[in-house]
Each structure stands twice: as C-alpha cells, then as structure tokens.
Structure 1
C-alpha cells in the first residue's frame, strides 16, 4: 500500500501541473468509457449511450472527444438510430477531418456523410425574422437550442416560428428577442406557442447575423417574451411597454379596446405575470416607452430566470398521518424538492429530489445553508422521473435552516464540471419553516 502511494506521489511530482491535472480529470472520462463499453458488450446500447455521452462531457482532450463520438455513433447505429449515428459522425469529422475510422464506418454501414442544406443553413430574414441554426454539439448534450426573433412582431413571424420549430424537430429551446414591438395579438400568439412547447425566453441579438449591441423588447414583444416558462434579462437587454395604439373614435372602437384589454389581462394571468404590468402599459402614452428595470421586472414576475416562485407547505403522508415539510422550486432544468420528516425520535430524516437528467451522479452531495456547505452522507436512488437522496440532517443544520435565509442542495456528477441542484428561500419570518425545524430539533435532542 505504501509503495502504491509513493508511486502515485512520484508520478504526480514529476509531471507538470497541467499533466497532473489532466491525469486526475481523465478519471471521469475513463470511468464512463469503461462502463459504456461493458454495457455495449452485453448489447445494452441505450445504457451505453448514457455513459458515452457523459464521457464526451468529461473529455478534456481532442482524442477523448473523438473516441466518445465514435462510440456514440456505433452504439446509436446498433440501436437502429441511423440518423443519430450520422449526426455523431459529422461532429467527429468536424473535430477530425478525413478521419479514417469514421469514413470506413460510414461506408460499411451505408451512411451518407453529406449534410443536407437544412442542417447547415441559417434561416434568412425573409422567413419572417426567425433565425435558427442547429448547434450539433448542443443537441448532442441535450441542451436547449437557440432561436432568435428579430424585427417587428407580426402574424408572419408567428407562422414562421411554428415552421422553424416543427421542421427542425426542436424539443428544447431558448427563444431570444430583439424587437421594437408590432402586432399585439401576434405577440400573444407567439407567447402561447412558446409556452405550449415549454421553451424559455431571453433578450439578445443574434451575433451571427448582427453586430453586437444592446437588445430591446418593447410593446408587443414583451407579450411574446412573457410566454417563456423561464424568462431571463441580461445586463444588455431592455424591456419596455406602452398603451396599444388603436385610435378610438367610436363606440365600436371603445368596445374593441375593452375586448383587447381583457385578452391582455387574461393572457398575463395565464403566463403567471402580475397584472400590474397591464397598468403600466395603460398609463404610458403610445408615443412613449416605459422602460422596466430588472428589479421591477422581477417584482412583476416578468423575469423569473432563477426559477418559479419557491413554496413551502406542510403535507401529510397518505394513510400514515405523518406530517412533513416540503419545499419546491421549479427551474428550466427541472423540479427540485426538499422534504423534512420529523414525526418521532425514530423517524427523523430529509429527502432531496431532483428531476433526472443526463449526468451520472458521483454519489457526493452538498447541503448549503446561507453559504455554509456540508458534505452529506446519503445514498442516491432513482424512480421514473427523479434522483432521490435520503439523509439525516444534524441538529446544527436544523438550527441554521430555522434562522437562515436560503437552503440549497446539490447532486454532484462524475464530471466535476456538472451538477444538479436547487435553492429555496427561507423567509426568516416564515413561521412554517422555523416551527417545523423546531420540532425536528426537539425530537433530535431526545
């Protein structure tokens, strides 16, 4: 044992810092490739793909990425997914042009390596202001694609956004806006389309088709932007509203204005936006723009990039009469839940749950209370939809939560660059949390 420790220390000592770091980081890649190969050997190709994807995420060197992509391509072909196999080969060839293995594999499996025009062409501005170019690597990692909406909001823009999503089979996306406004009804139509797909929204210029500058989302654009499940506002982005500009000259026009106003209010409520936003619209001349600060946008729930409203509730375990405290946060990555159960001296524990994703958990977990971190001793389990970690908090941790302002939980991945986690605000004046923590402390003290 001493010999092994000395040998490891000696190797790390003679390597340069960069080489030593690479040696340590490669463990993540090696573990995933190894597990993927085992599953591939027993023809569990779906399981192998999961580990090969993680190996790609862990890869720090070009040759490791190439090896991961080759394994992914072969496994997907074995699953019968010829198109996905081709996609991985094309990414591999971007990294390694004229790669002999890729060319031979494609030839043997009768895979055409010619990209279709649709795979590589940016949709033109003539398509109604919708800009989209598939990012192969983003698609590989199952991350959201980027769609850019630029120009005056119109019915044509709504139609072309629908076409872009359906023709490219986009499953997850962030839709970025840069628009002075336009058709109110089209704006709400775009927003509802985005919400139906579960996409998020932001405000940004597409750098590939326009020089960098501040980006804006005004008037009808704000309604379209409101459709995002999660809505972000960068430091260079601006949102602004004003009264819709239909001139009122008759009773019919007044009736129409009331109908449109009712539609806007209902839409804002459906999107989870505070209807005070409509008041700000109504109180601003059609010739002016009321720029909404990021702080006000958060208050109005127009911006919610850190997740939907967090909530704490006391609930009962069905049929058991056991009460537990549950905190929930929803983000664009998934749903996080933290449950505390303190029913008797023998039934004191906590459960952290998070929506399953593509990371491979390392078995390490962190509980953070107001920036104080604790390594958690717990076992991870899974059900159909969630990672589940059950652990027993200490009395110190219960006390910190009861008087704290924030509690977070993280599930670390084998790849040190990735983790899943969520944060829950603990209002110091929220007696629900502090009272239940007091119950846990009293039972733990017995």
Structure 2
C-alpha cells in the first residue's frame, strides 16, 4: 500500500459525525484494509490527546480490527434520522427506517460488536456517551488478540488451566500429561487457511527457534510436538520439572510471518495453575 500503510495501521478518529451511509462505507473500508481505530486526536507534536467520535464517526470506528477509546475521549451514539431533523415520518420513511435499522444490526454484528448497541442508539434522540463498562460490554473497545482470564477445565482425566483469545482463534493450555510431565500447548486456527509458503515459514521457525518464553520463563523448543498445516498450528512444549511462572508475567506467542502475536494475561493464573499442576503424577 502507499506510504507504508497496511494491516495494523492505527487510524485516530475525532469527529462529531456526519452522514450515516458515509460512516458505514468508511467503516467497511477500514476493515478491508485491516486498520485499527482509536478515538482521540494528535496535537501539533504528534502526541495523543482527548477527542470525540459520535454519530456516523462511531459507525466508521467500528470498522477497526482493534478498537480503543483513549482515557478522557468520548464515544457517542444517537438515533439516526432523515434530513430535516427529528420529526414524524410517513409510512414510506418508516419502512426505510426499519430497513436501515436491520442494515445497522447486520453491520455491527459483522464487525464483532454486540448488536444491542443499535438498540441503545435508537432509543436516544440526544447523544449518549458510552461509559467504559458499556464500551467493553458492547465490544466497542476490542482487541482480538487479547486473552481471557485463566480458567480450569477437565482435560484427559485431569485438569488444565486454559486461556483463549477474544477472536476465538487461539487457545493456550497448561496441564500435566499422562507421564506426569508439565505441558504448555498453543493451538492457533487460521482464517483464511495458510498458503504452502506460509506453512513452510512455521516449520523453519520450529527448526531454528531454540527457546520460547512461557510465562516469563525460557522453555526449550527442542523435542516439542509441533504441527502446522493450512488450518491449524499446534505446539506442545514440555515444561521443566517444578515450573512456576514469573509473578505477573504473560506469555507472548508470535508467528513466523507476522500474522499474529498473542500475549496471555496473568488474571486468575495462580489458582488455575495450582489446580492444573496439583497432581503431576503418572496416571
């Protein structure tokens, strides 16, 4: 793309709004280009400052792959209306409004946003500024690469500590296998599937990686179970005996060609890991 713009470019938005259909078109273009969006402004020195994104700007903002509203900035929605302002509509206009509402619901859902946002918008003729909790609840603020808090699940007759990415494409599991060894397993599903050249990059990475950081500790890749085809990557690492994470550490998993880079969090990790590793014995 021109001027080095591409996937991961952050588009900073600051606008009180405009035309609804223009906002939808811009949002779709943003998603197609793979841009991230952030509400705010840049001052004369390029430093981020507070801003506002409302009305049609809010629709365009939803096109971002990753979406963030900087502290102090505002994200606002309101009921859309035909030129002439808020008024009574005739039968034809009401039909068009209903059709447009359906299009908005489909657009929001397609962007990974909770469709309840459209209902909230339709209920207000004045501007409603969403709270931080509402921004998260409606998935207006969203990072597909963020991992969930750790939880405990049954696994192969034992227990595993599991965390998964917000986009549903990656899972990390920590558990004891049937030999009593501690394991860390990453599974990543590819959409769209990998081309043969990309698959080859993963296999080259595995042959040369040496070590990978797991929860703040270096773990050898040598002898790990590894597979990468067009649809899925599987990496099962054997953890050292007595393995414990570094306090507060997350685990960063990056692919060989830059298509993803996930970092797990530490929320609930200690109790989940305690349960998963409590009985690391041969079963």
Range of TM-score over shorter length: 0.5 to 0.7
Task: Identify which range, 254-263 or 244-253, moves more after superposition.
Answer: 244-253
* Contact 1:350–1:393 (Cα < 8 Å) also in 2: no
Matching residue of 1:291: 129
Matching residue of 1:273: 113
SS of the residue 2:217 aligns to: strand
CA distance in structure 1 between the partners assigned to 2:153 and 2:97 by the alignment: 44
Partner of residue 193 from structure 1, selected from 20, 29, 36 = 29
SS of the residue 1:273 aligns to: coil
**TM-score by structure 2 length?**
0.67
In the alignment, does 2:245 pair up with 1:408?
no
In the alignment, does 2:85 pair up with 1:262?
no
CA distance in structure 2 between the partners assigned to 1:377 and 1:210 by the alignment: 40
Residue 235 of structure 1, CA deviation: 2.1
SS of the residue 1:408 aligns to: coil
Matching residue of 1:365: 213
Task: Identify which range, 176-185 or 335-344, moves more after superposition.
Answer: 335-344
In the alignment, does 2:281 pair up with 1:444?
yes
In the alignment, does 2:281 pair up with 1:423?
no
Residue 323 of structure 1, CA deviation: 9.3
**Superposition pairs of residues 295-374 of structure 1, within 5 angstroms:** 295-305=133-143, 307-308=145-146, 310=148, 326-329=162-165, 337-346=171-180, 348-352=182-186, 363=211, 365-367=213-215, 374=216
Give structure 1 stretches of 5+ with no counterpart. Answer: 1-117, 120-133, 140-144, 146-169, 368-373, 413-419
Structure 1 residues 202 and 411, CA gap change in structure 2 (3 angstroms): same
* Contact 2:163–2:264 (Cα < 8 Å) also in 1: no
Structure 1 residues 421 and 271, CA gap change in structure 2 (3 angstroms): closer
**Superposition pairs of residues 25-44 of structure 1, within 5 angstroms:** none
Q: What is the root-mean-square deviation of aligned Cα atoms in Å?
A: 4.5
Q: RCO (CA 8 Å, sep 6+): is it higher in 1 or 2?
A: 2
SS of the residue 1:301 aligns to: coil
Matching residue of 2:62: 226
Structure 1 residues 393 and 277, CA gap change in structure 2 (3 angstroms): farther
Residue 362 of structure 1, CA deviation: 7.6
Residue 347 of structure 1, CA deviation: 5.4
CA distance in structure 2 between the partners assigned to 1:314 and 1:211 by the alignment: 44
Structure 1 residues 421 and 209, CA gap change in structure 2 (3 angstroms): closer
Partner of residue 216 from structure 1, selected from 4, 29, 52 = 52
Structure 1 residues 278 and 313, CA gap change in structure 2 (3 angstroms): farther
Question: How many corresponding residue pairs?
Answer: 251
Bigger helix fraction = 1
**Superposition pairs of residues 70-219 of structure 1, within 5 angstroms:** 134=3, 139=4, 145=5, 170-207=6-43, 214-219=50-55
* Contact 2:253–2:262 (Cα < 8 Å) also in 1: yes
Structure 1 residues 228 and 408, CA gap change in structure 2 (3 angstroms): same
SS of the residue 1:350 aligns to: strand
Matching residue of 1:240: 76
CA distance in structure 1 between the partners assigned to 2:162 and 2:47 by the alignment: 47
Residue 253 of structure 1, CA deviation: 1.4
Residue 198 of structure 1, CA deviation: 2.6
CA distance in structure 1 between the partners assigned to 2:219 and 2:243 by the alignment: 15
SS of the residue 2:278 aligns to: helix
SS of the residue 2:279 aligns to: helix
Residue 376 of structure 1, CA deviation: 3.4
Residue 266 of structure 1, CA deviation: 1.9
**TM-score by structure 1 length?**
0.45
Q: Which has the larger radius of gyration?
A: 1
* Contact 1:323–1:343 (Cα < 8 Å) also in 2: no
